[in-house]
Structure formats: C-alpha cells, structure tokens
Chains A and B, each alone.
Chain A
Amino acid sequence: MSESYNADKETFMGVPRKEIPWWPTIDYDKCDFCMECDKFCPHNVFVKREEENKKLIVKNPYNCVVFCRACAKICAPDALKFPEKRDITKLIKKLRAEKKED
C-alpha cells in the first residue's frame, strides 16, 4: 500500500516536516501491545510485528501530525510519550526565523 504522505516534501508551518522531531515514543515497560493506538491512528505511524519481541514500533514518525497526541489519550497503560509542545513551538519559530534570513 502507498504511504499516506511523502514525508520528504511535507512541511508544517513552512518548516520541512523532517526537521520537526514530533512523534510518539513507546515505553516498552508499560506497553501491553493491545494495539489500540495502531487501530486508531489513520496515518500509519505505527506498525505491528507479530513475530518480534517488540510487537509494535513507530515506523513512520514523519506521518505523525505535529501537535496531535490523540493516540496517547486512548492508551490505557499510558505508554506513549511525546516531546514537550513548548519546545517544539520554540524550534518551529527558530527554524522559520532562520529561513527568513536566508
């Protein structure tokens, strides 16, 4: 199946998506592989791997919608973590300012 987005071309607020480190991190001490997050996310951020120890990984981090944390909201064991929004906002402002200077 084709991927949702071509991450190389995507931008967010004028900044290349690949320069914004926003995606969920799975805490494997907490995750019970219920797969609710994968069922929920329409952007194919996660991928299931039945044969592996880590049965779920973040496969397409740049498909993740910047500032969306809905998967963490539905995660019962609270195993999904995101960066601080404040830090990401600062970074986006900085990158935009640099772009303006160029």
Chain B
Amino acid sequence: MKECFCIIPCNGLDKSLGVITRNVALKLLEKDPDMELVCPVLLNSGDKKYDEILKMNKIIVIDGCITRCATKLIEQRDLKPLIRIFIPDMSKIFKIKPSKELILIEQGQELAELISNYILENLKSSKEELRLVSRKFGDIECFDVTVDKYYFRVPKEGYYFNENDCWIKPEEKNALMGITDYLQNAAGDILFVDLPELNSEIEQFEDVGSFESSKTILQLISPGSGKVIAINKELEKNPEFINQDSYGKGWFVEIELKDFEEDLELLMDGPNYFEYMKEKIMKEKNHFDQIKSEINVE
C-alpha cells in the first residue's frame, strides 16, 4: 500500500468553522497526491474501511471548534496525529475572521486556502530531522502527598515555582521550565502540547505554550524571563511524559535567563510551594465535597 497522509476534518455542517475544515481537506486533496480523505461520519459509524490506512499512515486532524470531534475520533482509536489544526488558532494567525455563513464566501475560502498551504509547509519540515533535545535527570528528592487517588510531588531543592503552578530550574545562565504535578493532575491525561518558537523572547508570566487533555486546555505561564533556546520536541510525540515525570523528562522549554534575581522576587521555593499547593488542593477538595453534598441533598 502506498504511503499517504490521512486527513480527518471534523466536517461540522452546522458551523462555518466546521465547513472550513471540510474545505481545507478538499484543498489538500487537490494540491497533494499523497493525501487520503477520511470521512468522519463513516469513521464514526464504526465502519472498518479506514482501519488499516489510519494505522499505517500519518494523520492530519482538522477541528473547527473546541468540541474537537475529529480529535476525539482518532483518540478513540488510540491514534495520534502528526499535525493537528484548530481553526480558531488559524483564524488568529492569518487574521481572518470567518463569517457565519455555512456556504463559504470570500473570507472563509481565503482562510481555507491559507490553512491548506500552512499544512503543506509544515509537512515539509516534519519530514526533515526534528531537533531532539534529551536530558538526563537523576533522582529528584521530593515532598509528596496523596489526596484521594491523586499523588503530588514537589522537588525539595533546585526548583522555583509561581502561583500558576509552573516551575523553573536554573542552571547557571540557563533554566528549564515546566508544569508541576498539581497542574498535570488537574489536566488529566495530556494529549497535545503546543510549544513556543525557538529564539522568542519571553517575559515572566507570559504564556509559553499550552497543553491539552480530553478535559481542558491549559497554559504554561512562565516563571522566568529570557530567550527560548531549546524546546522539548519529544513532548510532541510523547505528551504523556508530562504526566509521568513533570519535573524531569516532561520539561517544556529551556531559556537563557535575563534577570533571575528579579524573577525570584515573585517565585516560591520548594517548601513554600509545597505548602501553597497543599492548601490549594484541600480548598478544591472541600469545594467539590460541598457540591457533592448539595447534589445529594437535592
């Protein structure tokens, strides 16, 4: 069987964003002979037509809205996409606000055209060798606490934290950054990671990337300021590293520090963050217990 790229648009017919996904898929089909269209409706019906090509080939998922129907279809099959497109993101990148029409007029068509070119461009680079940066982490000595079925760790030394539950680990002039066990537990199984561009300058508390689980989208809010000098590309293939080892191989980015002394002013050390985190967990637990008891009373 010939190698191809499987395109799965959500094809939502009742929203213009969904209609755009269909048009992007059709344009890709037209432009690249290596594309194979997967009908989400047939796929959802449980038909076996696509079983083999989906397993054997790379997948491009195109979602129109946050319901992410196309993504869900492949998650149900334990597959992971090579490229995932979310139309609202594209709309912002290309600064085109699609109108609400269900039959696309100029703007929607233009956006679909730009997105299809964007995908083709990305496929080119994904064929090239990706910059992989792997690091070794020894045993990290941690404080830990278990609440219900959740297990939380906080490194005792070497890491600093902001109140948005992200960490920074300075090493001379550079620092690694990532999210804490609290945030990975709150997100649940992380399925996608969106990392910043290399060489971008970031300020403290700026968003440095986002990650998605089946429950939610969350952001890494930078504990430090500086220039992005490395990104953990492995997370794109193995986002579960964040859940498995949030302080080690689940790191997001490395920055060249600008002024860590100043960053530190608004950061906590391990023991302080551990206390802060426990308090936050208990507050949430009490809140949910209260809701549960209110529901039971009703």
Residues of A within 8 A of B (CB): 1-2, 4-5, 12-13, 30, 32, 34, 36, 39-40, 42, 65-70, 73-78, 85-86, 88-89, 92-93
Is the beta-carbon distance between A74 and B92 smaller than 8 angstroms?
no
A92 to B65, CA, bound (A): 35
Is the beta-carbon distance between A85 and B205 smaller than 8 angstroms?
yes
Name the A residues within 8 Å of B55 (CB-CB): none
- Could you tell me which residues of chain B, from 207 to 237, have a CB within 8 Å of some CB in chain A? 207, 210, 216-219, 221
Chain B residue with Cβ nearest A79: B97
Question: Counting CB contacts under 8 A, is B157 at the interface?
Answer: no
**CB of A87 to closest CB in B, whole Å:** 11
Is the beta-carbon distance between A40 and B294 smaller than 8 angstroms?
no
Q: A89 with B219: in contact, given A2-B294, A76-B17 (CB under 8 Å)?
A: no
Name the A residues within 8 Å of B287 (CB-CB): 2, 4
A72 to B298, CA, bound (A): 35
Question: Counting CB contacts under 8 A, is B62 at the interface?
Answer: no
Question: Counting CB contacts under 8 A, is B13 at the interface?
Answer: no
From B204, B210, B294, give the contact of A70 (CB < 8 A).
B210
- Could you tell me which residues of chain B, from 30 to 89, have a CB within 8 Å of some CB in chain A? 65-66, 87-89
Is the beta-carbon distance between B66 and A36 smaller than 8 angstroms?
yes
Name the B residues within 8 Å of A2 (CB-CB): 287, 290-291, 294
Is the beta-carbon distance between B216 and A67 smaller than 8 angstroms?
no
Chain A residue with Cβ nearest B283: A5
Is the beta-carbon distance between B205 and A78 smaller than 8 angstroms?
no
Q: A70 with B217: in contact, given A76-B87, A89-B266 (CB under 8 Å)?
A: yes
Is the beta-carbon distance between A67 and B164 smaller than 8 angstroms?
yes
Name the B residues within 8 Å of A74 (CB-CB): 66, 88, 217
**CB of B4 to closest CB in A, whole Å:** 30
Q: A32 with B100: in contact, given A4-B287, A68-B219 (CB under 8 Å)?
A: yes
Is the beta-carbon distance between A76 and B221 smaller than 8 angstroms?
no
Name the A residues within 8 Å of B98 (CB-CB): 76
**CB of A29 to closest CB in B, whole Å:** 11
Question: Counting CB contacts under 8 A, is B265 at the interface?
Answer: yes
**CB of A23 to closest CB in B, whole Å:** 15
**CB of B265 to closest CB in A, whole Å:** 7
Name the A residues within 8 Å of B294 (CB-CB): 1-2
Is the beta-carbon distance between B92 and A12 smaller than 8 angstroms?
no
Question: Counting CB contacts under 8 A, is B91 at the interface?
Answer: yes
Question: Counting CB contacts under 8 A, is B203 at the interface?
Answer: yes
